[in-house]
Amino acid sequence: MGPTAIATTTLSIPARRNEPLAPRTTFGIGGPSRLFIEPRTGSELHAALAEARRGGIPWFILGGGSNLLVPDAGYPGLTIHLGRMSRVRVEGDRIVAEAGAPLSAVLCAALRAGLSGLEPLAGIPGTVGGAVAMNAGTRSGETFDTIEWVTLVSPSGRCERVPAGRVPHAYRRAELSGRIVLDATFRLRPDDPAAIRDRITENLVLKRQAQPLAAKSAGCIFKNPPNDAAGRLIDRAGLKGLRVGDAEVSRVHANFIVNRANARAADVLYLIRRIQHEVRIASGVSLELEVKLPSLRADA
Ligand code: EPU
C-alpha cells in the first residue's frame, strides 16, 4: 500500500489508500478511508483541498478522532489528518497552537509556562482544531473562553486570521462557515504553576469519578438540552446498560456509549436512535447529537 495520488491528473500529494480509521478514533469503530493524507503545512493542506475539488472528491478533516463515529463502510473520499500540523509555542502570556496539536499538549505547555485559563479543558481528548470547531468544553469552561485569534482557511485557499470575537459560537458550536482551523491563539494569565496543577488535577479527578474513561467511547454522545443534562434524562429513562451488539449505554455515565469490544457503527447508530426515542417518550425532550459523522462535503 505505497503512496499513491489523489487524482490521476496531478500527482502532487502522496496519499495512502484504504487507511483504517478505527484506530484513529477513540471509539475504535469504523471502516477505512478510500484516501488518506497528512499535510505538514497550510500550503500542503490547501494543495490537497484544491486537488480534491478538481477531482470532485468528498473530504473531511480528522483531528483527534475523539468525537467521531466512522461508518462501518468507511469513508468514500479523502480523509485529511492534521496530526503533523501540531506545533505549540508560548509567546509571553499567549500560546499559539496548530490545529493538529492535542489539547493536552497545550495544557502541558501552559502549565510549564505558568499560564492559567485552560484548566477547565483538562481531560478533554482531541485536538485544538476540533476543540475550536465544536467549542469543546466542560461545565467549568469552554474553548472560546481563552481564544483570542484563530487562523482559518477556506476550501478555496483564502487564509484569514480572525479575532475570536468575530467567530459566532455557543455551547458546543462554532460557526466557521465551512472554513478549516489552521491554528489558534490562546490568551492566558500568569499564575503559580502549583496552583494550576492543583486545578487540573481536581478536574481530572472529578472526570474520572463521573465518566467511563477507561472504556472506548466518543465522550458524551448528545449535547445537553437547555437547563438539563442528557445523562440525567437517559438515566431516568432507565437506559443504563442497554446493549446492541457490543455497543452499550455506559453504566457509569448514561450519556456515554461504550464499545465493549467489537461494536459496529450500525450498533451505535441503532442505540442512538433508541435512546432518542425512549427519552422523547419519557421526558418529551429531543436529544441532539454531539458526536459527529464524517461529512461528505465536496466543494465545487
Ligand atoms: N447524571 C445522571 N446520570 C448519569 C450521568 C449524569 O443522573 O448517568 C446527572 C448528574 O448527576 C448531574 C447531571 O446529570 O446532575 C450532569 O452530569 P455531569 O455533571 O456528569 O455533567 P454532564 O452535563 O453530563 C458535561 C459535559 C461533559 C463534561 C462534564 C464535566 C456535555 C454534553 N457534557 O457533562 O463533556 O466532561 O460536563 O464538566 O456538555 C463531552 O462533551 O464529550 C463531555 C464528556
Distance between Cα 179 and ligand 1 center (Å): 30
Quick check: 183 and 128 in contact, CB under 8 A? yes
Q: Is 199 in the pocket of ligand 1 (CB under 6 A)?
A: no
pLDDT tens for 261-289 read: 999 999 999 999 999 999 999 999 999 99
- The three three-digit cell numbers of residue 27, written as one number: 471509539
Distance CA 20, CA 31 (A): 6
pLDDT tens for 164-210 read: 999 999 999 999 999 999 999 999 999 999 999 999 999 999 999 99
Q: Is 223 in the pocket of ligand 1 (CB under 6 A)?
A: yes
Cell 499538549 found at:
105
Instruction: Please choose from 255, 283, 287 the residue to mutate so as to test ligand 1's pocket, defined by most ligand atoms within 8 A of CB.
Output: 255
* Per-residue pLDDT band at 1 (split at 50, 70, 90): very low
Q: Is 219 in the pocket of ligand 1 (CB under 6 A)?
A: yes
Distance between Cα 254 and ligand 1 center (Å): 9
Distance between Cα 219 and ligand 1 center (Å): 10
pLDDT tens for 2-19 read: 445 555 444 366 899 999
pLDDT for res 12: 63
Q: Is 127 in the pocket of ligand 1 (CB under 6 A)?
A: no
pLDDT tens for 207-233 read: 999 999 999 999 999 999 999 999 999
pLDDT for res 84: 95
Please state, rounded to an integer, the average pLDDT across all residues of the chain.
94
Q: Is 34 in the pocket of ligand 1 (CB under 6 A)?
A: no
Which residue has the least CA distance to atom 6 on ligand 1?
231
Which residue has the least CA distance to atom 33 on ligand 1?
220
pLDDT tens for 86-112 read: 999 999 999 999 999 999 999 999 999
Q: Is the pLDDT at 37 greater than 50, yes or no? A: yes
What is the mean predicted confidence (pLDDT) over 32-47?
A: 93
Q: Is 254 in the pocket of ligand 1 (CB under 6 A)?
A: yes
Quick check: 69 and 270 in contact, CB under 8 A? no
Q: How much is the pTM? A: 0.95
pLDDT tens for 126-153 read: 999 999 999 999 999 999 999 999 999 9
Q: Is 196 helix (H, G, I), strand (E, B) or coil?
A: helix
155-163 long-range contacts, Cβ below 8 Å, gap at least 24?
155/49, 155/53, 155/179, 155/180, 155/299, 156/299, 157/46, 157/49, 157/50, 159/42, 159/46
* Per-residue pLDDT band at 249 (split at 50, 70, 90): very high
pLDDT tens for 107-122 read: 999 999 999 999 999 9
